C-alpha cells in the first residue's frame, strides 16, 4: 500500500473513532493523505480541529507554505498552525521574522491560532522581543523521561498551552525503566491500560496529549478509558519523580 493510502486509512480510522484533532506537518508529507481522509469521511469541517506545521527555514514564505498545506488538506483554514522547530530559521532575527509572518497569516483567517513546537525558553525569549501575538501553544516531546519542566513552567506563567508529543514513550521506547512498576500498578487500580495511565499523566497536568495508533482496538480503548478517570495528584507526582531518574529523548531536538 502506498504512503498516502496508509494515511487515508489511518485518518478514516481515527475519525470513525471520534478523534477530531488531526496533527499534520509540511515536512511529514501527510497533508494530502489527511485531506483525502477528511474528504472521504464527510465529517463537517466545524467538528474537526486540524493542526499543521511550517518548517520555518530562513527566508521561507510562510503565507505561501500555508497555501500549499491548505491545498493539500483541501481546507480553507487550519485551526492551528505551528512553527515546527526553532532552529531552521538560522538566527534570532530569522526566528523573529518567521514569527512575524505567522502573525500575518493568522490575520488573514487562514490559521485560526498560531503556535510553536520544540521551543525552549531561550527561543521564546527571542521571539517575544518582537512578537505582537503570543504563541497559543508549544508542542513538545513530553513524557516521564523528558519532562522539560523549565519550558513547561515558563509557558504556564505566560498562558501558553503545552501539548505533548510521544506521550507513550516511557511505555513504548523507555523500557525497562523506573516508571514501569507504577504504570502497571495504576493500570491495575483503575482497570485501564498502561497507555491510558501515560496519557492521563499528561492530561492531569493540563497538557494536551497527541498520540497515534493504527490499531482500532487501541484507539477505541484510549477514547473509552483515558477520559473515564483521573489520577490522584500524588499519583501524578509519583510518576514524575520516578520518571526524573531516567532521560530518554526520542526526537533529539532538545539541547540541554
Ligand X SMILES: NC(=O)c1ccc[n+]([C@@H]2O[C@H](COP(=O)([O-])OP(=O)(O)OC[C@H]3O[C@@H](n4cnc5c(N)ncnc54)[C@H](O)[C@@H]3O)[C@@H](O)[C@H]2O)c1
Ligand Y SMILES: OCCc1c[nH]c2ccccc12
Q: Report the interface residues with ligand X, using CB under 6 A.
A: 23, 117-118, 139, 165-169, 171-172, 193, 195, 210-213, 218, 251
Taking CB under 6 A as the rule, does residue 84 contact ligand Y? yes
Site string for ligand Y, 212-251 (x = CB under 6 A): ---------------------------------------x
d(CA 50, CA 56): 19
The size of the chain, in residues, is 256
Nearer to ligand Y, 57 or 130 (CB): 57
Partner whose binding site includes residue 210, from ligand Y, ligand X, none (CB under 5 to 8 Å by kind): ligand X
Q: Which residues of 173-186 are buried (b: 16+ CB within 10 A; e: fewer)?
A: ebeebbbeebbeeb
Taking CB under 6 A as the rule, does residue 8 contact ligand Y? no
Residues binding ligand Y: number (CB under 6 A): 7
Cβ distance 130 to 96 under 8 Å?
yes
For residue 183, give the C-alpha cell.
Answer: 504504570
Site string for ligand Y, 36-55 (x = CB under 6 A): -------------------x
Taking CB under 6 A as the rule, does residue 27 contact ligand Y? yes
- Pick left, alpha or beta for residue 51 (phi over 0 → left; psi -120 to 50 → alpha; otherwise beta): beta
Which positions ≥6 away from 241 have C-beta within 8 Å? none
Interaction site with ligand Y (CB under 6 A): 27, 55, 84-85, 88, 251, 253
Amino acid at each position: 500500500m502506498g504512503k498516502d493510502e496508509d494515511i487515508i486509512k489511518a485518518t478514516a480510522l481515527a475519525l470513525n473513532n471520534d478523534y477530531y484533532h488531526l496533527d499534520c506537518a509540511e515536512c511529514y508529507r501527510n497533508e494530502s493523505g489527511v485531506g483525502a481522509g477528511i474528504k472521504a469521511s464527510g465529517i463537517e469541517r466545524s467538528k474537526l480541529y486540524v493542526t499543521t506545521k511550517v518548517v520555518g527555514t530562513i527566508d521561507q514564505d510562510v503565507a505561501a507554505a500555508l497555501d500549499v498545506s491548505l491545498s493539500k488538506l483541501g481546507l480553507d483554514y487550519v485551526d492551528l498552525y505551528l512553527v515546527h522547530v526553532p532552529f531552521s530559521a538560522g538566527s534570532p532575527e530569522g526566528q523573529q521574522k518567521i514569527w512575524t509572518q505567522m502573525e500575518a497569516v493568522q490575520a488573514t483567517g487562514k490559521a485560526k491560532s498560531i503556535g510553536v513546537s520544540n521551543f525552549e525558553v531561550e527561543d521564546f525569549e527571542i521571539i517575544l522581543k518582537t512578537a505582537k501575538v503570543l504563541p497559543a501553544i508549544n508542542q513538545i516531546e513530553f513524557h516521564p523521561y523528558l519532562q522539560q519542566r523549565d519550558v513547561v513552567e515558563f509557558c504556564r506563567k505566560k498562558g501558553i498551552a503545552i501539548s505533548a508529543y510521544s506521550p507513550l514513550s516511557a511505555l513504548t521506547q523507555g523500557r525497562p525503566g523506573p516508571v514501569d512498576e507504577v504504570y502497571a500498578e495504576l493500570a491495575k487500580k483503575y482497570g485501564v491500560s498502561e497507555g491510558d495511565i501515560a496519557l492521563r499523566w499528561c492530561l492531569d497536568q493540563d497538557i494536551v496529549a497527541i498520540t497515534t495508533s493504527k490499531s482500532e482496538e487501541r484507539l477505541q480503548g484510549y477514547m473509552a478509558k483515558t477520559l473515564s478517570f483521573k489520577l490522584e495528584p500524588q499519583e501524578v507526582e509519583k510518576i514524575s519523580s520516578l520518571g526524573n531518574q531516567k532521560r530518554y529523548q526520542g526526537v533529539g531536538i532538545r539541547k540541554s
